[in-house]
Chains A and B, each alone.
Chain A
Amino acid sequence: MTSPQAELVLTLVFHDDAYLPVVSLAEGWGDAYQKKAAVVRLAKADMEKLGLKANDRVRITAPAGSVVVAARPDAAGEAGIALMASSLYTNTLAGCGTGSHVLPLRHIEGRAAVTDRDVTPVRDLVVKRDRA
């Protein structure tokens, strides 16, 4: 049996989720939103490579930022591809690119690494603004 890898390079695919808008409409950007949004779905092969069990924490890092989320296996997932519902978590990872006609909010390159840190609180991802 081989030792788990510390890190995996992945393509992060961001997609719409039916229930995140329902949660944010009902309760705003609180615990229920965090529970739904702070999740990455990985192919079973990638879960095994990282030595992850369902709901273990994983740090996802992309050029624009980094978040800690819960890992869940995706039975139909393809190795090398990680799925995340579009949310404040993916907004942290996505850059605002230059030269593109549309913002790169659908798929970007990133890395996944096992961590013992807690899930990034959603309140940390809300952009606070010093008012004029």
Chain B
Amino acid sequence: MGSRTLVCTGCGCLCDDVQVDIEGGLPGRIENACARGAAYLRAAFNARRRAGARIRGDACSPEAAIDEAARLLSRARRRLVFGLDSSTQEAQRLAVELAQKLGAVIDGASSFSWGPLIERIVGQDLPSCSLSDVKDKADLLLYWGANPTATHPRHLSRHTYYAYTEFNPAGWYPRVTLASVDVRQTELAAMSKPAFRIKPGGDRGLISGVLGESPADAQAGQLAELVRKSRFCALFCGLGLVQALDGDLDAFTRMVRMPGQSVRMAVIPMIAETNMMGLTRTLHERTSYVNSISFAGDVSGGRQFSFVEQVRQQAADCILVIGSDPFAALPQSLLAQLQGPNVSIICMDHFPTLTADAADVVVPTAVPGVESSGTLVRLDGERVALAEPVKDGPLTQEAALVRLMEKVQP
């Protein structure tokens, strides 16, 4: 039996203190992982929960699956590479090279979720900081449209509220104010003092009230005062906020910039995917766009190159999905556009996702952090190196992409 310390790749927290006892090639006791992380690790070791190589539903060798994937990509004329939000930096770079070689469109899930917020952080319109900057330094933790108890179960204990080293002497309460804005009563809202409860879609009105651009109600006044009295406000944004604002973050950006020099504000997106921040940064460095990019001819970007628009317009004739499960995440009415003989789907994944079930070709790959090493970028922008693999597995995504690149004909 051996005990190994891993970086958990179950969510965007990338907890680097997870210990796994490995007995006879199987995980025994798992320490420091949340329920999601433990389920992820156990699935990685469970042969029944792993993807197998398939061509149109029939089992095959991984090599045959890669050959068929190369054939489909070579035959196609309008290729789309999608996903990569949970792939290592190394795999992401190779996928970008593949997309360039094929003159393909490339996109990640940020195009229908976090894109507008990440774009402003990467472009430095919104100030951000690392989680280690937050701990013990921020005196106001404000979660807006986010419930880490569901999405990032160890966020509070590892990085923020419960990670603070100073406590009030009379009890157990950290020396920091925990506040939240949400449309419902969550576990976090129950802990927050104060908790601002708003109507669905009421985010815009609250921001407008804080900015003084509309008559401020009591909540807007209290929130503005709370921020104004703080020295360092760490604002953790959830998808609830981005969705409620329909991606229009102008007023939100003004609100974050409003307190002036006396209050430090930092925005951190509560991204669930393990390396969405890494993908958006890689794409931004190479193309100046964070998602939705076409390499056909000159590099161009825009909503027409997003996965959703590509599917809606039936613009792609071959889709390579890498480490993502759009068939589990997106509306059925959209996915219905992927029927018929005019589009083929190749899925590269470690788990038997719904996208793998629907794909023409499945290429099984190693689980990052368990069967392969590499680098990820955490939700706060910090780079995290994965530990050495703890077990053998199928091809890494990197190796599968290299082989695919060797075989495809643009």
Chain A residues whose CB sits within 8 angstroms of the CB of B351 once the complex forms? 25
Q: B200 to A13, Cβ gap below 8 A?
A: yes
Find out whether the CB atom of A105 lies under 8 angstroms from the CB atom of B243: yes
Q: Is A17 an interface residue (CB 8 A)?
A: yes
The reply to whether the CB of A54 lies closer than 8 angstroms to some CB of chain B is: no
- Report if A130 contacts B (CB, 8 A): yes
State which of A76, A91, A100 has its C-beta within 8 Å of the C-beta of B185. A76
* Contact-residue size bin, chain A (C-beta under 8 Å from the other chain): 35 or more
In this complex, how many residues of chain B approach chain A with their Cβ under 8 Å: the count is 60
Q: Chain B interface secondary structure, helix, strand, loop or mixed?
A: helix
Residues on the A chain within 8 Å of B112, using CB: 102-103, 105
Instruction: Identify the stretch in A1-9, A44-52, A121-129 within 8 Å (CB) of chain B at 4 or more residues.
Output: A121-129
| Pair count A-B, CB < 8 A | 141
The distance in angstroms between the C-alpha atoms of A68 and B246, with both chains bound, is: 28
Is A15 touching B184 in the complex (CB atoms < 8 A)? yes
A24–B36 Cα distance when bound, in Å, is 10
Chain A interface main SS type:
loop
List the B side residues contacting A88 at CB < 8 Å: 328, 332
- Cβ of B184 and Cβ of A16 under 8 Å apart? no
Is residue B156 within 8 Å, beta carbon to beta carbon, of the partner chain?
no
- The answer, among B115, B239, B244, B332, for a CB contact under 8 Å with A92, is B332
Of all chain B residues, which has the CB nearest A90?
B331
In the bound assembly, the distance between CA atoms of A81 and B308 in angstroms comes to 28
Interface assignment of B383: CB less than 8 Å from any CB of chain A: no
A17 to chain B: which residues have CB within 8 Å?
150
Binary CB contact string for chain B from 322 to 358 against chain A (1 if under 8 A, 0 otherwise): 0000011111111110111111110000011010011
A94 part of interface (Cβ distance < 8 Å):
yes
Give the chain B neighbours of A22 by CB distance below 8 A. 35-36, 39
Flag if A104 contacts B243 (CB, 8 Å): yes
Query: What is the CB-to-nearest-CB distance from A87 to chain B, in angstroms, rounded to a whole number?
Result: 9
Q: How far in angstroms is the closest Cβ of chain B from A110?
A: 12
Q: Are B343 and A106 in contact (CB under 8 A)?
A: no
Please measure, in the bound complex, the distance between the C-alpha atom of A128 and the C-alpha atom of B239, giving whole angstroms: 28
A78-B202 Cα distance, complex, nearest whole Å:
14
* Residues of A with C-beta under 8 A to B354: 29, 126-127
Give me 7 A-to-B residue pairs in the complex whose CB atoms sit less than 8 angstroms apart, sorted by A's number.
A96-B308, A96-B312, A98-B312, A101-B246, A102-B112, A106-B244, A107-B183
